[in-house]
Amino acid sequence: MTNDEIQLFTLIAFAVILVLALYKLYAMFNTPVSGPDTKTYHAQLEALIIDFLKRVKKTDLNAQELFELLIQQDEFNDEIHKNFNHNRLNQLLQQLFYTYEVNSLEELISQIHKLGPDIGKEDNA
């Protein structure tokens, strides 16, 4: 074999390996993650929180107390909600404050009680 043939063979081998590596990277980064997507997860958590707030009798809760009560619920003991934390609760509460046009958790609970048991049903339909 001459130097030109060796260089050509090396170039072809490099090109084939590069194409295979790029294909593997493409396949790895474009494979969807198993489980619910972020919007579905957000909607599920929001529905669980609203359902819980409908049932709660105490209206002067703070976010810490609400979090502790929520994680004691059976709905939050499954594998889907294992990453639920204070930050996620605060994000959901801020979204609910905006949605129901209130400024505090106490106002949110009062607003949900005032709107009645059908609240949140139209979001899931």
pLDDT digits (tens, 9 = 90+) for 100-120: 999 998 899 888 888 876 665
Cβ neighbours for 110, distance < 8 A, ≥ 6 positions apart: 59
Six token digits for residue 82:
């294992």
Mean pLDDT of the 42-56 span: 89
Give the model's pLDDT for residue 115.
Answer: 83
pLDDT at 55 over 60: yes
The per-residue pLDDT for 125 is 37
From 121, 53, 54, select the one nearest 93 (Cα to Cα). Answer: 53
Q: Which residue has the tokens 């009560």?
A: 69
User: Does residue 38 contact residue 11 with C-beta atoms inside 8 Å?
Assistant: no
Q: Find the mean pLDDT for residues 53-58.
A: 87
Which residue is it, tokens 């819980």? Answer: 52
Distance, CA of 50 to CA of 113 (rounded, Å): 10
The greatest distance separating any two alpha carbons of the chain, rounded to the nearest whole angstrom, comes to 88
Give how far the C-alpha of residue 38 lies from the chain's centroid of Cα atoms, to the nearest Å. 4
Q: Chain-wide mean pLDDT for the chain? A: 85
